[in-house]
Amino acid sequence: MTHGGNIRALREKSGVQKIIDFSASINPVGAPEWLRREVSRALDEASFYPDVECRDLIEAVVEAFNVDAGNVITCNGTSEVLFALPRIGEFKKAYLPAPAYIDYQRACRNAGVEVVEFGLSDGRGGFAYPEPAKLAAMVEPGSVVFICSPLNPCGISVAPAYFKELAGLCPDSLVVADAAYWDFLHGVDYAGRGWVGEMPENVIVLWSMTKFYSMPGLRLGLSFGCGELFYKIKNYLPPWNVGTLSQYVGTRALRDIEFAEYTQTQTADIYQRFYDGLASIDGLRPNKSAANFIFCELVTDKFSAGQLRDRLLEKGLAVRACGDFSGLSGEWLRMAVRCDEDNNKLLAAFEEILNPASLKKNVQKKKTPALMLLGTCSNAGKSVLTAALCRILKQDGIKVAPFKAQNMALNSYVCPGGGEIGNAQALQAQAAGVVADVRMNPVLLKPCSDVGSQVVVNGEVVGNMKVNEYVAYKEKAFAVVKDSYDSLAAEYDAVILEGAGSPAEINLKSHDIVNLRMAEYAGAGALLIGDIDRGGVYASFIGSYETMQPRERELIKGFLVNRFRGDESLLAAAHEYVKEFTGKDVLGVVPYIKNINLPEEDSVSFREHFSPRGGKDKDSLDIAVICIPALANYTDLDPFLNEPDVRLRLVYCSGEFGRPDAVILAGSKNVLGDLAFLRESGLYERIREYAEDGGSVAGICGGLQLMGENIADPHNIEGGGSGKGLGLFNTSTVFEEPKILVRKTAVHKLTGKAVAGFEMHNGRTDFTGQRELFVTDSGEVLGIGDERIFATYLHGVFSADDYRRSFIDSLRVKKGLQPLGRVVAEYSFEPALDKLAEIVRKNIDIKMIYEILGV
């Protein structure tokens, strides 16, 4: 006879290293999230002997079970008590249900106790315990009767009253109530723990801790009783039988009521889905179970249970064939209830083996190969490296799409098909050589205050939400995310997913929809990226890894070091340490790439974004960028960064204003709030005075609105209110729904230069009586003003090389400099993306990346 759960033997038998184990019935939810931390804390005490009395653990047991401390045994797994019990009890006979857990029989026969089995047939092809009176009539005084509830392997259960009644009918015998799976009970009205302290003296209860808390490797069990034999067993067991790690973890586990309640709810739901799936497969007849495993009869002559077990093992799926259980006729399998993903793999394998013809009619398309890039922090390089991999796959002939479930960014982009997404995903789409699509970033959060954001779903605004409101909305958002991903992935050969922030953010993990939860849904392996330029990269790799649950750690396939300057050979020892600690390799070291001329991560502040790049001419124009608090789409100014004769200077207050050659007011996510800031900072008057003195002022979108006379938000779209603008134009803006999201082309009337970009705003501005400056072919006005003071709703207006140069040259002439008269810095991402791909390809293990991706 063999036990389930022997992974080493299963690997040796099958030659398969990655096995999903259905042969051992462990919590499908997994271990509590604190398990790794508690073990780590306990290791500090590993140099001392364990508390021989297990005082903290027993205190927790008393609280959880409402029992007297003297009526508790803590043991190294309940097997320790099970094997001691028949040796000490000197029983005449042992009465065992058949089928039942094989170690009842083994423990009794090892002690020389005669075994008598009683059948469990309910007369209808199922299983049931006999009535207590009928069973008691069989029992010879001075014997032991084993009752397991729920019973392994068939999942039937009895109420605590059954133990009591049987014990009363057999006063000279012992009833062993094995409640190893009791915490998993569902579909009954007698779950709970309080009954264990209400049993008579001739009942001993066995209670496993390791199955419910998913920690069988730690070995921890409990036993309860109050009779003479119980105390003999207690004195029989050796000292220090429960180690420090098990004591720490057990104490914490028993006090984690939330985990217990969550497990019970989830297990019942997962069980039902799994049972229904098994019941739908020709050739299988599952029995109803009250536990976290299902006993299933094989009703086909194609395979024996052992043959089917072996076929499944070849696919990396281990189930328990029950040929070594007594009391069975026919062919039976027992399988644990695992997570839905694992259960579905087993169901698909059953269908494939048992009903291949049926499978052809219901072929399920394989998931699109996918890889997720995660970061140890924001701005670790996820966005840029996602773009790099998209370009590499494109170069290698693979049709690839980027995807980010949720992005928080004020730099957004209107897709050609309408709807807005994060600017980073638009760049990644360009890297992949595909058209940007709202499905690539189904949830976009645009902060409008410290505690709230505008929420954009599938490209459309659904409203402004405070943090708690959005957290409550997240499950609904995740449903949209999954639909978007499935639809997008079906059209591509591969998907590169980008995470957000860090997957180790403890305060966010419980409602994550963008990091490892998304990777698991997509079936994507994940790489964890760290920014070595910030320092502490290896600590952040290991620290992040340590916060993850076992299933999450399985998703991590390796690490990438980003932004390294120096001799890579100096990192070898650190990489070995990471491999030794995590079992995962560092798959590349990407150098610090200077002047790549690509937009920075969405999370980078505009102060970092506009830090000086390269050399500038001594006669460079000084363009002041007004840094309003809700500055949005500041990437509209990126085209100036590589102009040799332009220096962008950030201005936060009136004292920094100076005497610039031009002032630019860019977009705003909170126009009235930013208007108040201009007044409070003194910039309101400085800009007005500057304009009156002949200065050049340009505005884009929110900047256009700020430059007008009146601004009103009567529908509370950006927080409500009204105010007087800078008065540089005699215009009025009113905020209304819906948000305008559309791509446009236009002509700058003074120069005849073509411009292109997109509108993205709720404000409706009345241009009546204003000088038209940017006009579409159909005559629609997108901007107003003259050569010196102008504004437009067109994001991307300065991306047009010819127009941008004409604007710069006009400022040069005004300053007394010669115009250059030609484009000197083309604004194109294509060369930069190719350069980025070349550098990244050379510095990562691209072969391993492709292997993880599965292409």
Identify the pLDDT of residue 422. 94
Tens of pLDDT, residue by residue over 546-603, are 999 888 999 999 999 999 999 999 999 999 999 999 999 999 999 999 878 887 655 4
Nearest to 645, CA basis, from 504, 795, 824: 824
Tens of pLDDT, residue by residue over 506-535, are 888 889 999 999 999 999 999 999 999 999
Which has more confidence, 599 or 635?
635
**Quick one: 476 exposed, middle or buried, by C-beta within 10 A (0-12, 13-18, 19+)?**
exposed
Q: What percent of the chain has pLDDT over 90?
A: 87
Instruction: Please give the backbone phi and psi of residue 636, each rounded to the nearest 5 degrees, phi first.
Output: -60, -25
Query: How sure is the predictor about 347, in pLDDT bands with cuts at 50, 70 and 90?
Result: very high
Q: What is the overall mean pLDDT for the chain?
A: 93
Tens of pLDDT, residue by residue over 702-717, are 999 999 999 999 999 9
**Quick one: 631 exposed, middle or buried, by C-beta within 10 A (0-12, 13-18, 19+)?**
buried
Instruction: Assign 19 to helix, strand or coil.
Output: coil
Instruction: Please give the backbone phi and psi of residue 249, each rounded to the nearest 5 degrees, phi first.
Output: -65, -45
Instruction: Determine the average pLDDT of the residues in 69-78.
Output: 96
Q: How far is 553 from 519, CA to CA, in rounded Å?
A: 12
Identify the pLDDT of residue 613. 52
For β-strands 221-224 and 72-75, DSSP reports them as antiparallel
Question: Which DSSP category does 533 fall into?
Answer: G
Tens of pLDDT, residue by residue over 216-271, are 999 999 999 999 999 999 999 999 999 999 999 999 999 999 999 999 999 999 99
Residue pointed to by tokens 């991402």: 829
Q: What is the CA radius of gyration of the chain?
A: 35
- Check: CB of residue 810 under 8 Å from CB of residue 562: no
For β-strands 331-336 and 753-766, DSSP reports them as unpaired
Identify the pLDDT of residue 610. 65
Residue pointed to by tokens 């949830």: 443
Cis peptide before 738 (omega within 30 of 0): yes
Q: CB within 8 A of 463, min separation 6: which ones?
A: 454, 455
- Check: CB of residue 484 under 8 Å from CB of residue 449: no
- Alpha-carbon dihedral 817, 822, 825, 827, rounded to 10 degrees: 120
Nearest to 402, CA basis, from 419, 426, 423: 426
Identify the pLDDT of residue 614. 43
For β-strands 781-785 and 789-792, DSSP reports them as antiparallel
Identify the pLDDT of residue 549. 87
Tens of pLDDT, residue by residue over 801-850, are 999 999 999 999 999 999 999 999 999 999 999 999 999 999 999 999 99
Sign of the CA dihedral running 814, 816, 821, 827 = negative
Identify the pLDDT of residue 459. 95
Q: How far is 164 from 175, CA to CA, in rounded Å?
A: 9
Kindly report the number of other CB atoms within 10 A of residue 822's CB atom. 9
Query: How sure is the predictor about 2, in pLDDT bands with cuts at 50, 70 and 90?
Result: low
Q: Which two tokens stand for residue 174?
A: 């012992």
- Check: CB of residue 143 under 8 Å from CB of residue 95: yes
Kindly report the number of other CB atoms within 10 A of residue 742's CB atom. 10
pLDDT exceeds 60 at position 201: yes
Q: CB within 8 A of 536, min separation 6: which ones?
A: none
Instruction: Determine the average pLDDT of the residues in 318-335.
Output: 87
For β-strands 203-208 and 221-224, DSSP reports them as antiparallel
pLDDT exceeds 60 at position 296: yes
**Quick one: 88 exposed, middle or buried, by C-beta within 10 A (0-12, 13-18, 19+)?**
middle
Query: What are the catalytic residues?
Result: 701, 795
Identify the pLDDT of residue 450. 75
pLDDT exceeds 50 at position 105: yes
Alpha helices in 92-227 (DSSP H): 102-110, 132-138, 160-169
Identify the pLDDT of residue 600. 66
Tens of pLDDT, residue by residue over 721-778, are 999 999 999 999 999 999 999 999 999 999 999 999 999 999 999 999 999 999 999 9
How many helices (H) and strands (E) the chain has is answered by: 27, 38
Query: How sure is the predictor about 385, in pLDDT bands with cuts at 50, 70 and 90?
Result: very high
Instruction: Determine the average pLDDT of the residues in 264-283.
Output: 95
Q: How far is 603 from 407, CA to CA, in rounded Å?
A: 10
The model's pTM is 0.83
DSSP annotation string for 50-65: --TT-HHHHHHHHHHH
